[in-house]
Amino acid sequence: MTAQSRPVPGDKDRLAEIHLQIGSRLAGQDHRYTSGRRQLVDVLAHAGQPMTLPDIVAADRNLAQSSAYRNLDVLVRCGAIRKISTGGDHAHFELAEPLLGHHHHLICTSCGAIEDIHLDSDVELLVDQSLTAIASQSGFTPIHHSLDLHGHCADC
């Protein structure tokens, strides 16, 4: 397992594409892609790691906590942003997988910290094939997998 930075930060074309996709997702559910929602997506795209609401508000002084929370909720419900609950005080948020790319998480059960991890592509393939084989024994048709590792982070 290796921790890698995301492909999003600093890539203007990629970010423009993400805004375009989210805009059409929202429009499809009769929501407007307001400047407040765009700002949230900008913060998450540049963060490179999942963020809590206090993280997000701290990263952009123009974001008010109450409206940021409501906007996050809309973006989560339309599938643009993924909410990761760790059982800690604050849920974490990141761009949804179709936008960000497939990956897994290290979740600290002590402090709630979350780190993105990417498996080497051959390992990822093996994991997916193993899960698909197990699923087929139950007559289950897999669509995708999500796999997070829970434990204690370096600080805990």
Site string for Zn ion, 51-80 (x = CB under 5 A): ------------------------------
Contacts 24+ apart (CB under 8 A), 56-64: 56/93, 63/36, 63/39
Q: Toward Zn ion, which CB reaches closer, 27 or 134?
A: 134
* Nearest distance, CB of residue 84 and Zn ion, angstroms: 7
* Nearest distance, CB of residue 19 and Zn ion, angstroms: 19
Q: Does 91 bind Zn ion (CB under 5 A)?
A: no
Q: Does 8 bind Zn ion (CB under 5 A)?
A: no
90/70 Cα distance (integer angstroms): 15
Residue span binding Zn ion (CB under 5 A) among the ranges 13-21, 37-45, 64-72, 111-119: 111-119
Q: Does 94 bind Zn ion (CB under 5 A)?
A: yes
Q: Does 22 bind Zn ion (CB under 5 A)?
A: no
Q: Toward Zn ion, which CB reaches closer, 27 or 156?
A: 156
Q: Does 116 bind Zn ion (CB under 5 A)?
A: yes
Binding site for Zn ion (CB under 5 A): 94, 108, 110-111, 113, 116, 153, 156
